[in-house]
Structure 1
Amino acid sequence: MRHTQLGKSDLKVSTICLGTMTFGEQNTEAEAHRQIDYALERGINFVDTAELYPVMPRAKTQGKTEDFIGSWIKKFGKRNDIVLATKVAGPSRGLEWIRKGENDLDAANIRAAVETSLKRLQTDYIDLYQLHWPSRNAPIFGQKNFDPALERPSTAIAETLAVLSELVKEGKIRHIGISNETAWGQSEFIKQAEQHNLERIVSIQNAYNLVNRSYEQGLDESGFRDQVSLLAYSPLAFGRLSNKYADDLNAQGRLTLFPATWSPRYMRAEVVTASQRYATLARAHGMTPASMALAWCYSRWFVASTIIGATNLVQLKENIDAAEIVLSEEVISSINAIHAKMNNPAQ
């Protein structure tokens, strides 16, 4: 397993990260512990979670994912063996159970979120603390274009950075990152940190996969020049790129368990068509659709770590094994040809 440095930080993380959003919904506590153990056996030292998890988000289960990771830390005492990342939710309309639905990225909310996450995770510090989504109006979660009509009051980036910087000084978090951000947002975080001598972001966690390569439209250059590392999430587009839903209409997964209510961008007809084309290409070259999709992410120069999620160890093994695949120039050219005809349908 290869390791890489996150941004300008001292964090050395595996190029594969264990995503945990199924812990507490699709996975039991015992299954969650087995997944973490297996990931460590395979050389993965990076675990990503969020106060919002598991998904589908709901009051009854919110926080269970962090609870399960915390019980693993307490049971096995391997806190120093992992780089632990979690996230604070942004403005949460429709998520009334997170700080009574009044959540934002201000000092009061971030401090409350950090303290609660530390308690659930049963640790004294968080290695990488991320803003799950922006406070301001921004085109995220399948919104393809920026819409000025959706402008709303928001917490200033400098204000958010100020409280995060205080928490770093207090030792409760080590480094900070952003998620579901735009090129403007990433650049503004860098600019405000430099202007006010505040903590600098080291990473950005954005969706990146064969049906959503929008990171390549400016954020790749920004990441390179600003030394902000990409943590690629949803490399299988919620399982769509495994082609399992096309192979079996009753396949178990987020898109069948939570139809239409969760990430409808992956239900778009053009996403289904593109996924089937990628699946045909993979099988023509002796790969499973999931393995090719993951190998693509693992091989991109700008991806510091790819966040994989699984509901069982068989899936987890296949996902990790895909790191050994070297895509041929023919396959890469064919992927780019499909992409040229069906450009980012899940953006």
Structure 2
Amino acid sequence: MKYTTLPNTDIRVSRICLGTMTWGRQNTESEGQAQMDYAFNQGVNFFDTAELYPVPAHKDRYAETEKIIGNWFRKSGRRQDIVLASKIAGPAPFTEFIRTEGFKPSAILEAVEGSLRRLRTDYMDLYQLHWPERSTNYFGQRGFIPDARETWKDNIHEVLRTLQTLVQEGKIRQVGLSNETPWGVMRFLEEARAHPGLPRMITIQNPYSLLNRLFEVGLSEISHRSQIGLLAYSPLGFGTLSGKYLGGQKPEKARVTLFPNYNRYSNSKAIEATEAYAEIAAMHGLSLAQMALAFVNSRPFLTSNIIGATTLDQLKENIGSADIELSPEVLSKIEEVHRTIPNPAP
């Protein structure tokens, strides 16, 4: 396993991060525990979760994933060996059963205390805002469209002050963003720079894969110049880049089979691109999944690649991507496809 550090910290994390959003819905608790056991034994020391998980979100399953992780900590005694990241859910119609206050101080404090309790820990190493409060483009919306009905007022300073209190209390160590735009990242950095003592965002958890390289357009320069590390999620595009949906296949228990509305990586251009990437992988004796993950692993702005799996065999293949170095020829072929079919998934 390869390791790096969270930007501007001494927190050492594996290049592969274990994603957890299926535990409690697609995966049972015992399956989630088996994944944590295997990942840890392979050198993965970075786990990412959220109060929202498992997804799709439902009030009857709210925060089950954090409980599964907390039970593993209690059983294994490995809390001190794991870099643990979680997130507060943002406002949305599908989170109204959680709370409706957005990122008001009381909401952040409530969310943190709830996560700590479920995770059976006194602190989280990284705490992230799962998506912005304001109306902007995320979760498959490619472009920004102003919303005349928006009521959000800039509360970035207040959010950072609340997070500062939690850092001072030792309940969180570092803070990060998720599903964020260049404007949002720079606004948070600007506020922290203007007010010494406020916590500085050090990571951004956004989608990044062969089918969605939009991070490169504006955020990669911010990542490079401002030292904001990418935690790449959906590196296989909801499993599309494993090739399991090619030819119209609908594997039993697969995410898109179970939840057809999770189709942002399934449009005709995304399928066309996936077929082209599959040809490259086959030509060079690689599995499509490992080639796709190895590409993400190779990016200079990457801090960690968040992989998820519903079976141990998938998990083994995904973690194994950490040992694969793509040749210049493979990378060149990938760029040819990208130039022809750039970012087919939003």
Corresponding residue number in structure 1 for 2:133: 135
Corresponding residue number in structure 2 for 1:254: 255
Corresponding residue number in structure 1 for 2:19: 19
Task: Note the C-alpha offset of 1:128.
Answer: 0.3
Corresponding residue number in structure 2 for 1:281: 280
Give runs of aligned pairs for residues 136-285 of structure 1, distance below 5 A.
136-149=134-147, 152-154=150-152, 156-197=155-196, 198-246=198-246, 249-251=249-251, 252-260=253-261, 262=262, 264-285=263-284
1:292 aligns to 2:291 (yes or no): yes
Conserved 8 A contact 1:20-1:48 = yes
Distance in 1 (CA, whole Å) between partners of 2:259 and 2:304 is: 27
- Amino acid corresponding to residue 109 of structure 1 in structure 2: A
- Partner SS state of residue 73, structure 1: helix
Question: Could you list the runs of 5+ residues in structure 1 that have no partner in the other structure?
Answer: none
- Amino acid corresponding to residue 116 of structure 1 in structure 2: G
- Partner SS state of residue 53, structure 1: coil
Distance in 2 (CA, whole Å) between partners of 1:239 and 1:218 is: 26
Task: Note the C-alpha offset of 1:248.
Answer: 6.4
- Partner SS state of residue 315, structure 1: helix
Task: Note the C-alpha offset of 1:138.
Answer: 1.4
- Amino acid corresponding to residue 164 of structure 1 in structure 2: L
Distance in 1 (CA, whole Å) between partners of 2:289 and 2:149 is: 38
Conserved 8 A contact 2:15-2:322 = no
- Partner SS state of residue 191, structure 2: helix
Distance in 2 (CA, whole Å) between partners of 1:250 and 1:143 is: 25
Task: Note the C-alpha offset of 1:247.
Answer: 5.1
- Partner SS state of residue 265, structure 1: coil
Distance in 2 (CA, whole Å) between partners of 1:150 and 1:286 is: 52
- Partner SS state of residue 86, structure 2: strand
Task: Note the C-alpha offset of 1:82.
Answer: 0.1
1:124 aligns to 2:122 (yes or no): yes
Q: Deviations for 1:246-288, whole angstroms, at most 9, x for unmatched residues? A: 156231311111002x3x3123221111111111211111111
Distance in 2 (CA, whole Å) between partners of 1:337 and 1:137 is: 35
Conserved 8 A contact 2:49-2:65 = yes
Conserved 8 A contact 1:19-1:309 = yes
Question: Could you list the runs of 5+ residues in structure 2 that have no partner in the other structure?
Answer: none
Distance in 2 (CA, whole Å) between partners of 1:322 and 1:238 is: 17
Conserved 8 A contact 2:89-2:95 = no
Conserved 8 A contact 1:92-1:103 = no
1:29 aligns to 2:23 (yes or no): no
Q: Deviations for 1:63-111, whole angstroms, at most 9, x for unmatched residues? A: 0000000000111111101000000011122322112xx1411211111
Conserved 8 A contact 1:136-1:151 = no
- Partner SS state of residue 4, structure 2: strand
What count of residue pairs does the alignment treat as equivalent?
343
- Partner SS state of residue 129, structure 1: strand
Task: Note the C-alpha offset of 1:150.
Answer: 5.4
Task: Note the C-alpha offset of 1:118.
Answer: 0.5
Conserved 8 A contact 1:137-1:150 = no
Task: Note the C-alpha offset of 1:151.
Answer: 5.7
Superposition misfits of 4+ residues, deviation over 4 angstroms: none
Distance in 1 (CA, whole Å) between partners of 2:28 and 2:217 is: 39
Corresponding residue number in structure 1 for 2:105: 107
RMSD in angstroms over aligned alpha carbons? 1.2
Give runs of aligned pairs for residues 296-335 of structure 1, distance below 5 A.
296-335=295-334
Give the TM-score, by structure 2 length. Answer: 0.96
Q: 1:150 to 1:326 in 2, by over 3 A?
A: farther
Deviates more, 1:22-31 or 1:265-274: 265-274
Task: Note the C-alpha offset of 1:215.
Answer: 0.8
Distance in 2 (CA, whole Å) between partners of 1:66 and 1:150 is: 37
Conserved 8 A contact 2:46-2:82 = yes
- Partner SS state of residue 94, structure 1: helix
